[in-house]
Chains A and B, each alone.
Chain A
Amino acid sequence: MHDNDSIKQVLLRDLTRRKLLKNAGYGIGSLALGAMLSESGLGAFQGQKTHRTDPFAPKIPHFAPKAKRVIYLFMAGAPSQIDLFDRKPLLQKHNGEPIPAEFTKGERFAFIKGTPRLLGSPHEFTKSGKCGHEISNILPGLQSIADEVAIIRSMHTDQFNHAPAQLFMNTGSQLPGRPAMGSWLTYGLGSECEDLPGFVVLISGQNNPDGGKSCWSSGFLPSTYQGVEFRSKGDPVLYVSDPKGIRPATRREELDALNDLNKMRENEVGDPEIETRIAAYEMAYKMQTSVPDLMDISKEPKEVHEMYGTQPGQSSFANNCLLARRLVERGVRFVQLYHRGWDHHGEAEFDDLTHGLPKLCRETDKAATALITDLKRRGLLDETLVVWTGEFGRTPMNEARDGSKFLGRDHHPHAYSLWMAGGGIKPGLAYGTTDELGYNVATDGVHVHDLNASILHLMGMDHTRLTYKFQGRNFRLTDVHGEVVHKLFA
């Protein structure tokens, strides 16, 4: 099946810029394009600014969006929903008892062997906000903004190992090679920022996510749409800094010569690609200023630093939350933060539920809370969708690997929780439930594909129409699945 929209985009993106509008006014090519555009109703660009013709030029969504930008807080390692969001008194009651066999018959576990025992959460919960979200006491910040967020307790996925599950969340496939959501969205919508990439990735925590750079790969989409890592150490963007001894003015002189020489060549060989390259060098030059400007949080007021818990020059989730706000302020379409370390199996103190998990909460809760509060007071929350999620859930049973005395939970694909805020999400909403043990979804299940379809929907994109033809087939983020969960929306 063809998708007219993807074809329109392809036409607009490539033909428009490269060969036709340049020569607009004569020639059959521009006539053909004109005909195609008017047929598709895009001839007038519907009031969009038309001065940008690059691949990131803002494009018309399929329908009116609720959100214009996404900040995606990826809690890599899979936070324990049972200890954070999905309170299960029955687990506490039957703590230490073997789980009934009907739950685990035929199940595949990552590490659990034999018959595992139920594990009640060692943490207390409090009904928070007017909406009464039950949230663990190790997330005091989130409790304080409970009325801003929607909690989904009925997430489920197909994958129960980190790398495939993270890829699945991001790309809709457990195998590497498909485009990430941020790539799809910048491909489909462009970005409102002219001097920064449209899809930015910020990493904190133990190390890179398990899925590696494929989590923000553009897959088979042009690499223009891949996520660009902004690093907290060394060059914030690789190679953005001039070599020692080259001042900006010197660099300018080099680029002036380069542009002149490239123009001479263009006159000689007539390849319009050269013009694009000249523009790319100019943008690179701008980025050499805009990126360090963006990354320099030292000029933020003290009050902001206190709110986020940021320290200039540090590598932390807090710093990245503040950077995320600065990025969306500048119009960047998709900002994704990774914080790895939530893999609380309970093998030792560092990865157990009573020490390790609260530590991760301390690393993230305050800053995530500040991010929501800050976006709201700046009037950005309405149009910025914030998503906080891991890649799967954790078992209601104690893993007790090799008889470990520390409390921990194994990987669990059948049920987990996440929260979202802003960007068209119904604040204070509690959506979906799990059974009394928290093992399976009981009502209103939301599959990963449903979540992704819903996020695209909030951004004004129909997940069945945002497609790209590759290897003879129209691919999409949600494969052939996904139902938009309209009940999540305000």
Chain B
Amino acid sequence: MRMGRVALVGAAGVPWVLLLANPATQSAHKKVDYSQDVAPIFRAHCVQCHGADSQMGKLRLDTVAGFKRGGSTGVLVEPGKAAKSYLMERILGQGGPRMPMGFAPLTTEETATIRQWINEGASLAGASNTRHWAYIKPERPEAPKVKNKTWVRNPIDGFVLAKLESLGLKPSPAAPKATLLRRVYLDLTGLPPSVDETNRFLADTRPDAYESVVDSLLASPAYGERMATPWLDMARYADSMGYEKDLNRTMWPYRDWVINAFNRDMPFDEFTIEQIAGDLLPNPTKDQRVATGFHRNTMTNTEGGVDQGEQRWLTLVDRVGTTGSVWLGTTLACAQCHNHKYDPISQEDFYRFLAFYDPSNEPTLDLSDPKLKTLSGELSELEKSLPKLSGDAEALKAANGAAQSLRNQINEMSSVSTLVMEEKKDQYPPKTPMRIRGAYLAPGALVQADVPKVLPRMSKDLPDNRLGLAKWLVSRENPLTARVRINQIWEQVFGIGLVKTVEDLGTQGEKPLQKDLLDWLACEFMAKGWSMKAMMKLIVTSNTYRQSSAESAVMKERDPENRLLARGPRFRMPAEMIRDCALKASGLLSEKLGGPSVYPDQPDGIWNTPYNDQSWQSSKGEDRYRRGLYTFWKRTSPYPSFLSFDATSHESCTVRRIRTNTPLQALTLLNDPVYLMSAKALAKKMISADKLTTGDKIQLGFESVVARRPSPRELARLSQLLQQEQAHFSQNPEDAAKLMGTAKPAPSTQTEAAYTLVAQVIFNLDEAITKE
């Protein structure tokens, strides 16, 4: 089947090959540096056998001393002479088996890097500091010098422009106003602007018109919904437990906590502390306890035969891996069975980290209105008194009436409880057994909770528990957290992180092309008190962001993924946003905030889980048209149209969704009833609009979806379709009746059907599902 290309791939470095192969880039030719360039290759390919654990041939390459000493055959390099160096010979498979023996050879680039390094003298200068860039605390870089100073609206632009100028490139012109407006609406609220909002903005000539839109969007409740959606991917939020029976659970109070936290612009350090350890704060509020639902989103296997101890242990492993990916951009999970092969994370580090999570209870928190208890008490008193009144018809009637009224009130107040964390106080400081080769059934030595050795120590005044861990994550000394979070936000806006491997800033991750920009943003983030709204505002008001996203032929060739940011972002929207936008444009969207998850229409037979008779009962009324993040998330059977558009099952943490472009997506947009409903609603909007011409009506539909006026050619093509379909339906009125679902077609049905098809085409435009 001919399916579309994949927009992102896991492997780092591919576009680098192209960028570096470019003569302009090569003009910035740089000496190979041991710590930056060579040591990562050793770590990736060699240290497994020539490292801390094993020194085959008496060689270890994980330390400078080991490299200098060489192995049983002597020193490894003759500085300046790659061709005569033993290291090169063995990499090339001369004078002995090719290294790394039994594994894939070094890539051409890696081999060339080592060759160049030796030829340049194999300098170990600065090698005492062999720490990977991401483990060194970011320092706020100086703003770089640029020629075109007027283009620099804020410091982001300085870094971007300096890079472009160094390569002899220019930024793109500003995006058309309407394009920019839709872009920023999508980024900050996940919804398109209405036609009125667009017109108002186009007419607003004040110099700060754009800034004031940005401020109002940041203040709108939809902002929290937009920001929560990718966070819930990372939190592996779901409404079911996972595994075989996949029973429902109540976690939506946590989801609402996230939305609310973004809307209040809770600083990211607090946001972190409450989710990791809200229960350990002094006198925690209910909200702070609900926040700890973050780590209660782990799966629970309720199959009859499971080993409960092992299941619990698996949730601890998941918590370590997730914390590592979300806050540290580090693949801690790789060290579950053995020392991390590439990054300086030992197996002991892994279990010390896991120990933070070991002493936890997993209770349920009752969130019901306290009045519920009072009312229930009153009701039961009243019910007890009823028999005594049997003689007094009048009093009995009154009492029955009162009881019924109480019952009604109680029924309206649903009882809600959700899953939270709670510390076992008697396990301080926390300890856990290591597991030999990562196997639950092979417990090893007990280790005490601590953070990975390669990272700064926990400050002495922090407790050795989850709360201490949470505070350490967001301490100013931590080199990773601010960079990792900013990189996630950058990816959300630009479609690709400053480090593409958002989940991994370790040695196997991509080296940032614009490290200064990343570091500046990280420092600024902390300086701004970890305010995410402030950082979003900074990003979306930069000139970098405001560029047109049109690709020039030259840049298409030169920088296909737009890593240099010589244009604005253009990429397909995430699954939920596609649906939200269609509902919004058609006028169907319910903007109700929060609450229990909902069940929009989905085809029969999707849920068919063993030992689970829970079924998908389609919601009624406005709950059919809520925003995507409120859709009931069943792990073994997620909402199908979201899966088609690359949403994940939320069984485990997803830091980065991979975008694809497939025929199943086309079928979904063409035929999923929710998009047909949207098309019908948009058609009604077009027809009933108080406009004179057909062209105006089409233009209204078009603008509602893509927030710009159609070009004359576009308008002509849609008009042609409308005429074609009006003719078709007037000859085949039964088709019109079927499409519109009416048994008694009126003459207007044919017009509605024809407009519905026009609306359908508009909703299926590439542009309709793309942020431009």
The yes or no answer to A196 lying at the interface (CB within 8 A) is yes
Structural contact, B3 and A471, CB atoms closer than 8 A: no
Structural contact, A194 and B1, CB atoms closer than 8 A: yes
Q: Which residues from B are CB-within-8-Å of A163? A: 243-244, 301, 303
The yes or no answer to A269 lying at the interface (CB within 8 A) is yes
Complex-state Cα separation, A175 to B242, whole angstroms: 10
List A residues 212-246 near B (Cβ within 8 Å). Answer: 212-214, 217, 220-224, 226, 228, 231, 233-235, 237-246
Structural contact, B550 and A270, CB atoms closer than 8 A: yes
Structural contact, A279 and B671, CB atoms closer than 8 A: no
- Interface residue count on the B side (C-beta < 8 Å): 127
What 1/0 flags go to B542-584 for Cβ under 8 Å of A? 0000000111110011101000000000111000000000000
Chain B proximity of A112: nearest CB distance (Å): 9
Q: Which residues from A are CB-within-8-Å of B609? A: 207-208, 212
Chain B proximity of A20: nearest CB distance (Å): 8
The yes or no answer to A247 lying at the interface (CB within 8 A) is yes
The yes or no answer to A52 lying at the interface (CB within 8 A) is yes
CB contact between A176 and one of B3, B108, B242 (< 8 Å): that residue: B242
List A residues 190-216 near B (Cβ within 8 Å). Answer: 191, 193-198, 206-214
List A residues 66-116 near B (Cβ within 8 Å). Answer: 108-111
Given A176-B651, A470-B10: A269 and B549 within 8 A (CB)? yes
The yes or no answer to A490 lying at the interface (CB within 8 A) is no
Complex-state Cα separation, A403 to B549, whole angstroms: 71
The yes or no answer to B724 lying at the interface (CB within 8 A) is yes
Given A194-B2, A210-B243, A250-B728: A233 and B635 within 8 A (CB)? no
CB contact between A471 and one of B504, B649, B766 (< 8 Å): that residue: B504
The yes or no answer to B596 lying at the interface (CB within 8 A) is no
Complex-state Cα separation, A195 to B243, whole angstroms: 33
Complex-state Cα separation, A3 to B605, whole angstroms: 41
Complex-state Cα separation, A279 to B3, whole angstroms: 8
Among A254-262, A359-367, A434-442, the stretch in contact with B: A254-262
Complex-state Cα separation, A246 to B740, whole angstroms: 10
The yes or no answer to B82 lying at the interface (CB within 8 A) is no
List B residues 638-679 near A (Cβ within 8 Å). Answer: 638, 640-641, 643-644, 646, 649, 651-652, 658, 660-668, 670-673, 676
The yes or no answer to B107 lying at the interface (CB within 8 A) is yes
Given A2-B106, A207-B610, A258-B761: A196 and B605 within 8 A (CB)? no
Structural contact, B1 and A283, CB atoms closer than 8 A: yes
What 1/0 flags go to A170-187 for Cβ under 8 Å of B? 000001110000000000
Complex-state Cα separation, A301 to B6, whole angstroms: 41
**Chain A, residue nearest B324 (CB):** A471
The yes or no answer to B270 lying at the interface (CB within 8 A) is no
Complex-state Cα separation, A414 to B608, whole angstroms: 30
CB contact between A472 and one of B506, B570, B637 (< 8 Å): that residue: B506
What 1/0 flags go to B702-722 for Cβ under 8 Å of A? 000000000101100110110
Given A164-B243, A222-B6, A223-B646: A1 and B636 within 8 A (CB)? no
Q: Which residues from A are CB-within-8-Å of B663? A: 280-281, 283-284, 287
Q: Which residues from B are CB-within-8-Å of A223? A: 643-644, 646, 658, 660, 662
Complex-state Cα separation, A458 to B373, whole angstroms: 66
CB contact between A240 and one of B605, B671, B770 (< 8 Å): that residue: B671
- Interface residue count on the A side (C-beta < 8 Å): 117
The yes or no answer to A14 lying at the interface (CB within 8 A) is yes
Structural contact, A253 and B665, CB atoms closer than 8 A: no
Complex-state Cα separation, A274 to B661, whole angstroms: 9
Structural contact, B3 and A254, CB atoms closer than 8 A: no
The yes or no answer to A294 lying at the interface (CB within 8 A) is no
Structural contact, B5 and A18, CB atoms closer than 8 A: yes
Q: Which residues from A are CB-within-8-Å of B368? A: none
Structural contact, A271 and B4, CB atoms closer than 8 A: no
What 1/0 flags go to B217-243 for Cβ under 8 Å of A? 000000000000000000000000011
Chain A proximity of B299: nearest CB distance (Å): 8
The yes or no answer to A348 lying at the interface (CB within 8 A) is no
Structural contact, B637 and A210, CB atoms closer than 8 A: no
The yes or no answer to B142 lying at the interface (CB within 8 A) is no
Structural contact, A206 and B610, CB atoms closer than 8 A: yes
Complex-state Cα separation, A400 to B762, whole angstroms: 63
**Chain A, residue nearest B556 (CB):** A270
Q: Which one of A54, A244, A284 has the greatest number of beta carbons of chain B within 10 Å?
A: A284
**Chain A, residue nearest B738 (CB):** A245
Q: Which residues from A are CB-within-8-Å of B649? A: 176, 212-214, 217
Structural contact, B501 and A472, CB atoms closer than 8 A: yes
Complex-state Cα separation, A210 to B507, whole angstroms: 38
CB contact between B658 and one of A7, A108, A109, A222 (< 8 Å): that residue: A222
Structural contact, B651 and A177, CB atoms closer than 8 A: yes
Chain A proximity of B547: nearest CB distance (Å): 12
Structural contact, A210 and B1, CB atoms closer than 8 A: no
Chain B proximity of A271: nearest CB distance (Å): 6
Structural contact, A2 and B3, CB atoms closer than 8 A: no
Structural contact, B1 and A196, CB atoms closer than 8 A: yes
CB contact between B570 and one of A194, A246, A269 (< 8 Å): that residue: A269
**Chain A, residue nearest B13 (CB):** A7
Structural contact, B104 and A4, CB atoms closer than 8 A: yes
The yes or no answer to A265 lying at the interface (CB within 8 A) is yes
Among B14-22, B56-64, B192-200, B358-366, the stretch in contact with A: B14-22
Given A241-B671, A257-B761, A471-B331: A276 and B44 within 8 A (CB)? no
Structural contact, A411 and B305, CB atoms closer than 8 A: yes
**Chain A, residue nearest B710 (CB):** A261
Complex-state Cα separation, A247 to B728, whole angstroms: 11
The yes or no answer to B207 lying at the interface (CB within 8 A) is no
Q: Which residues from B are CB-within-8-Å of A39? A: 108
The yes or no answer to A304 lying at the interface (CB within 8 A) is no
The yes or no answer to A465 lying at the interface (CB within 8 A) is yes
Chain A proximity of B552: nearest CB distance (Å): 7
Chain A proximity of B682: nearest CB distance (Å): 14
Q: Which residues from B are CB-within-8-Å of A254? A: 721, 757, 760-761, 764
The yes or no answer to A447 lying at the interface (CB within 8 A) is no
Chain B proximity of A442: nearest CB distance (Å): 23
Complex-state Cα separation, A56 to B5, whole angstroms: 10
Complex-state Cα separation, A3 to B11, whole angstroms: 10
The yes or no answer to B737 lying at the interface (CB within 8 A) is yes
Given A224-B660, A280-B661: A55 and B5 within 8 A (CB)? yes
The yes or no answer to B126 lying at the interface (CB within 8 A) is no
Structural contact, B9 and A10, CB atoms closer than 8 A: yes
Complex-state Cα separation, A245 to B760, whole angstroms: 14
Complex-state Cα separation, A196 to B1, whole angstroms: 5
The yes or no answer to B95 lying at the interface (CB within 8 A) is no
The yes or no answer to A28 lying at the interface (CB within 8 A) is yes
Structural contact, A287 and B667, CB atoms closer than 8 A: yes
What 1/0 flags go to A393-436 for Cβ under 8 Å of B? 00000000000000000110000000000000000000000000
The yes or no answer to B512 lying at the interface (CB within 8 A) is no
Chain A proximity of B574: nearest CB distance (Å): 12
Complex-state Cα separation, A245 to B664, whole angstroms: 21
The yes or no answer to B432 lying at the interface (CB within 8 A) is no
What 1/0 flags go to A48-68 for Cβ under 8 Å of B? 000010111000000000000
8 CB-based A-B contacts, threshold 8 Å: A4-B104, A14-B6, A32-B21, A238-B640, A239-B667, A270-B551, A277-B766, A469-B10
- Per CB-CB distance, the 3 closest pairs between chain A and chain B, nearest first, are A110-B305, A212-B636, A245-B739
Given A13-B9, A251-B670, A270-B556, 19 extra CB contacts under 8 A? A1-B104, A10-B14, A54-B4, A56-B2, A161-B244, A162-B244, A164-B243, A176-B635, A208-B610, A210-B244, A214-B651, A224-B3, A238-B603, A240-B667, A244-B739, A264-B713, A272-B556, A287-B1, A471-B334
Q: Which residues of B come within 8 Å of A, CB atoms?
A: 1-7, 9-12, 14, 17-18, 21-23, 44-45, 100, 103-108, 110, 242-244, 246, 299, 301, 303-307, 314, 318, 325, 331, 333-334, 341-343, 501, 503-504, 506-509, 549-553, 556-558, 560, 570-572, 603-605, 608-610, 635-638, 640-641, 643-644, 646, 649, 651-652, 658, 660-668, 670-673, 676, 711, 713-714, 717-718, 720-721, 724-725, 728, 734-741, 753, 757, 760-761, 764-767, 770, 772
